[in-house]
Amino acid sequence: MGRVQQLLGQTDDAGRVTDTGRAKESLIALGFLAPSIVVFSVFFFYPFEQLVLRGLYRNNNAGTNLRYEGPQQYVDVLTGDEFLQGLWHSVQYVIFTVPAGLILGTLLAVAAHRRLKGIKAFQFIFSSTIASSAAVSAIVFLVLINQEIGIYQGGVPGFGDQAILQNSSTALFGVSLSSIWQNLGLSFVIVLAGLQAIPEDVDEAATLDGYGPVRRFFRITLPLLSPVLMFLVVVLVIFALQAFAPIEFLTQGGPNGSTETLVFKIFERQAPNQVGEGAVMSVGLFLVTFVVTLGQFLLLDRRVHYGS
Whole-angstrom Cα distance, residue 38 to residue 23?
A: 21
**Amino acid in position 231:** F
pLDDT reported for residue 219: 86
Burial 141-171 (b: 16+ CB within 10 A, else e): bbebbbbeebeebebeeeeeebbbbbbeebb
Helix axes 171-197, 222-241, angle to 10 degrees: 140
Q: How many whole angstroms separate alpha carbon 178 and alpha carbon 32?
A: 41
- Give the distance, in angstroms, between the CA of residue 168 and the centroid of all CA atoms in the same chain: 25
Cα–Cα–Cα angle for 181, 183, 187, rounded to 5 degrees:
120
Lowest mean pLDDT among 11-15, 158-162, 188-192, 293-297: 11-15
Q: Is the pLDDT of residue 6 over 50?
A: no
Count of beta carbons in the 10 Å neighbourhood of residue 280: 26
Q: Where are the beta strands (DSSP E) in 22-104?
A: 57-58, 67-68
Q: Would you state the pLDDT for residue 72?
A: 93
**Residue 159 pLDDT greater than 80, yes or no:** no
Q: Are 9 and 21 in contact (CB under 8 A)?
A: yes
pLDDT at residue 135, rounded to an integer: 86
The pLDDT score that the predictor gives to residue 241 is: 94
Domains of the chain and any CATH numbers: 2-43 (no CATH), 72-303 (1.10.3720.10)
This prediction's pTM: 0.85
Whether the Cβ atoms of residue 79 and residue 218 lie closer than 8 Å to each other = no
Give the Cα separation of 15 and 12 in Å (integer). 5
In this structure, which long-range contacts are made by residues 2-8, counting pairs with CB atoms below 8 Å and at least 24 apart in sequence?
A: none
pLDDT 10s digits, 196-235: 888 888 878 888 877 888 888 888 888 888 888 988 999 9
State residue 106's pLDDT score: 92
Residue 251 pLDDT: 92
Q: Does 282 have pLDDT greater than 60?
A: yes
Per DSSP, the residues of 86-112 read HHHHHHHHHHHHHHHHHHHHHHHHHHH
Rounded Cα–Cα distance for residues 55 and 47 (Å)? 12
Which one has a higher pLDDT value, 81 or 60? 81
Q: Up-side HSE of residue 37: CA atoms within 13 Å toward CB?
A: 6
Distance of alpha carbon 303 from alpha carbon 201, whole angstroms:
23
